[in-house]
Structure 1
Amino acid sequence: MLLPGCYSRDDLKSDAGNNKAAETTEASPDKAPAAAPSPEADPSSTTAATGSLKQVNVFLEVSGSMEGFMPKTGADAQNTRFQQHVAQFLSDVNRSASVQRKTFYRIKEKPYRDSYQQLETTVREGIREPASSTSIPAILDTLVSHYYQPNAVNVLISDFIYAPRNAGAVPYIKTDITDALNAAGRSDLAVSVYGHTSDFKGAFYPAMKTAAKRINRCCDTDIPYYVWVIGPADAVRRFDAALLKKAPGEQAHFGVKYSAAPSSLLNKFQNQGAWYYGEKDASKRAAGATYHTVAVSEVSAQQPVEFVLGMNLQALPALYQDLGHLKANLQLTGQDTDAKIVSVFGATDQTRASSGPEAQYTHFVKIRVTKMGKAARPLQVILQDKRPMWITQWTTKNDSNINQVGAKTFALSSLIDGVAAVTTDEQDQAPIFQIPLTLQPAD
């Protein structure tokens, strides 16, 4: 069961693993790894903008609520999608040349160091000795307080069912998560959340026990589980790109910063009306140059101008390349104009094979203008940092009848609210990217 308060956060903190140790504590639970050295004491741990990550710590929760994802191997030798996915993920991390050092832990009543082979065996063959409980805030506190390093990330795999002590504690779930992540005051903290669902073969322990404290032989519905990547913003971004670029399932990112997306106007690709590149040196530029100024000779409701902006978003996470997400969240801002986005579409076999500049871009935004001012004015194409809809869709206020509720997690939105409160500035929330353009009358 996932109940808070069965042990203190100090219990977890006392077992922050020594990243240089390789032994497991399974055979001797009383022998805990030494405390991790302070990153500040290691002059080689400076954040690297490029190159491999120095350290990745992978933590797998093995409480009783996780047994249904990793049932013990039976005569039918069937395994769950969780087992298939997580075993592959562990293998990818272990083999990755993008990470210098990898360590693996089981989280029972506290973190225990495992080898890669031992943790993979747990995933494949089931949990031998499940923990009676794990406290999500205590785990998060431990990760940011004792395993946080420059150029390193911590990966936590869990169902993230956080059970409040009572109904009156539910409104404080956001605060509990915020306090846990903020315990060490990490100013560059970022969190990427990956959501998955799996078949589930075992006992389900609801956070809200209004119907039953335990649902045996569950479940008729899939059950969600999550992979959280926690660490300095630059390290999280690079880990996501190296190991989770093609991750299945859903995702959300908090506090991660991305470089500007390469972009250009395309004057011979689905353009309409009297306009041309407004850059003063446009006619002298070499092939492959980019353009961001539209010079309009004539425009009206009867003679609209349409132009296409090409964007290369391949360096961004899959969420920000998803056409549905882009169509819902891309915005166009401008002055003295009625310019608006009329379509957003992705590259096709035809555009990729083209000899024109459109071959360089993965996504396209078509903009229409029928009215503009008498002087040059700025336009901006902006992808706002909006929370993806799946988080709300996967949230339930009561999981005591999980088979009827479906693939949802108790208070997931509140958990994410707690993450967002630490990793984003709600007063000045930066967009994922913004592309400045200029709309001006022709000379």
Structure 2
Amino acid sequence: MHLTSSFRLLPALALGLLLCGCYSRSDMKGETSAASSPAETPAATEATTETGPPLEPAAASSSPTTAGVLAQVNVFLEVSGSMEGFMPKTAANGSNTRFQQHVAQFLSAVNRSSAARKNYFRIKEKPYRDSYQQLSQTVRAGIQQPASSTNIPTVLDTLVGGYYAPNTVNVLISDFIYSPKNAGAIPYISTDVTDALNRTRRADLAVSVYGYTSDFRGTFYPALTTSVKKINGCCDTDIPYYFWVIGPADAVRRFDAALLEKQPAQQAHFGVKYPTPASSLLNRFQNVGSWYYGEKDASKRTAGASYHTVAVSSVSAREPVEFVVGLNLKTLPGLYRDLNYLKTNLKLQAQDTDAKISSVFAATDQTKNSSGAENQYTHFVKVRVTKLGKAARPLQLMLNDQQPAWISQWTTKNDSNINQAGAKTFALSSLVDGVAAVTSNEQDKAPVFAIPLTLQPAD
């Protein structure tokens, strides 16, 4: 991966726990210690750019669809020996890997984007500036000179210390395989990642992680070399790789929406803040029992109006009330639109009532084509009530921000048998835990969104 823009190699991490990147295995093809060739000039502290000055940072918008243009996008591609299997040299039949197809298309999309500046880097023992054409050619034709070694915490420290700026995102493309020098360092992976990201104390730091898998043709270097140092002719299984988008929260949100939400991927988001989605009670859609909108102007039924107060005429265990809340989640990332995630993490807070969520479901062709208000919403939450207090009480529908299940599913403690283990990454959950510790307070973690409702007896 890469080093700070001033090329400061960090000293060994606390207590000598130096976690080397996946390209630091001593048995891997590496570079000599000779000076870089003229084509491999380390990125300067004040890097020159191919376009004009950056735009002023766009003001935070209540709607991502009206987001301003980013000032700068920096793309960093790891070119270690362990990445060669993703980017093998072109075969005689012209075949390539899904990684090559995907990353080449992504680079093209960045290059065509409206960001004021686009910078491209190969990450070896430090970042090397490339043009779009050079980096795209590396992806297509394969790595010519794989890196020898670097340090993942150092890379992250560099990214937030040397390339972090308002209205700017840094995209890191890597397999993110840790290779600790000894087993005693493994418990400290998350701590070292946290320390690296926190060193410059960026108050608005956000990280989006996108996980993909690709066929892999070459030598696989396990993180733990106690039993197997390398696996030649690998792999029978797909191998994961990742895009990490790092920068100020609003810039990360807008970049994600513009360039990464259009392609399927596993996702995790840390420190990114999203506008509260549009929502409303729907009194003519699957409602049960005696209730109506409690807002004073509800009888006018203004087109496009939204309602959040349930006025209950009568309710009991035998005659329950059920109402549906419509949610328009189209401005949220795919993770937070996933029905399984919603069913697990949508919660209802209530007082003096037994109101609870009875079902969560997505829009169908029928709801989309309906003439009713339900056609405005992508998802629906049905709430059931059999008990009501004597006065108006608040309800709150919240989507909790929890680590998605795929993180643990893609994590392995031993990748020396990768063909049998399947598409997994060594210590992935520890790495992600390190990010989460910087970007959120687990004891007071804000929900993705919270929608206030009111439940009251009818007048």
The SS at the match of 1:122 is: helix
Q: Who is 2:367 aligned against? A: 351
Name the CA distance, whole Å, in 2 between partners of 1:350 and 1:62: 49
CA contact (8 A) 2:55 2:116 kept: no
Q: Displacement, 1:27? A: 4.5
Counterpart residue type for residue 104 of structure 2: A
Name the CA distance, whole Å, in 1 between partners of 2:327 and 2:405: 24
Q: Displacement, 1:206? A: 0.7
Change (3 A) 1:85 1:43: closer
Tell me whether 1:67 sits opposite 2:84 in the alignment: yes
Q: Who is 1:316 aligned against? A: 332
The SS at the match of 1:10 is: coil
Q: Who is 1:18 aligned against? A: none
Counterpart residue type for residue 454 of structure 2: T
Q: Which of 42, 45, 56 in structure 2 is aligned with 1:32? A: 42
Q: Displacement, 1:80? A: 0.8
Name the CA distance, whole Å, in 2 between partners of 1:374 and 1:221: 61
Q: Displacement, 1:440? A: 0.5
CA contact (8 A) 1:9 1:141 kept: no
Name the CA distance, whole Å, in 2 between partners of 1:11 and 1:76: 42
Name the CA distance, whole Å, in 2 between partners of 1:12 and 1:107: 16
Change (3 A) 1:433 1:393: same
Tell me whether 1:238 sits opposite 2:239 in the alignment: no
Q: Who is 2:322 aligned against? A: 306
Name the CA distance, whole Å, in 1 between partners of 2:124 and 2:455: 60
Name the CA distance, whole Å, in 2 between partners of 1:355 and 1:387: 37
Q: Which of 59, 84, 107 in structure 2 is aligned with 1:48? A: 59
Please give the residue correspondences for 1:82-231 in structure 2 after superposition, counting only pairs within 5 Å: 82-97=99-114, 99-231=115-247
Name the CA distance, whole Å, in 2 between partners of 1:411 and 1:424: 20
Q: Which of 1, 8, 11 in structure 2 is aligned with 1:10? A: 8
Deviations 1:29-60 (A, max 9, x none): 674332037xxxx9965453231000000000
The SS at the match of 2:281 is: strand
Deviations 1:91-112 (A, max 9, x none): 1111112x22111110011111
Name the CA distance, whole Å, in 1 between partners of 2:59 and 2:414: 44
Q: Displacement, 1:199? A: 0.7
Deviations 1:180-213 (A, max 9, x none): 1112111110000000111110101111112211
TM-score (norm 1): 0.92
Tell me whether 1:435 sits opposite 2:451 in the alignment: yes
The SS at the match of 2:74 is: strand
Identity over aligned pairs, percent: 72
Change (3 A) 1:179 1:29: farther
Name the CA distance, whole Å, in 2 between partners of 1:353 and 1:158: 43
Deviations 1:316-361 (A, max 9, x none): 0000001111011101110111111111111111211222111111
Counterpart residue type for residue 10 of structure 1: R
Q: Who is 2:31 aligned against? A: none
Counterpart residue type for residue 414 of structure 2: N
Name the CA distance, whole Å, in 2 between partners of 1:79 and 1:261: 41
Q: Who is 1:16 aligned against? A: none
CA contact (8 A) 1:305 1:369 kept: yes
The SS at the match of 1:86 is: helix
The SS at the match of 1:320 is: helix
Q: Who is 1:378 aligned against? A: 394
Counterpart residue type for residue 315 of structure 2: V
Q: Displacement, 1:285? A: 4.4
CA contact (8 A) 1:65 1:203 kept: yes
Q: Who is 2:312 aligned against? A: 296
Unaligned runs of 5+ in 2: 12-34, 48-52, 61-66
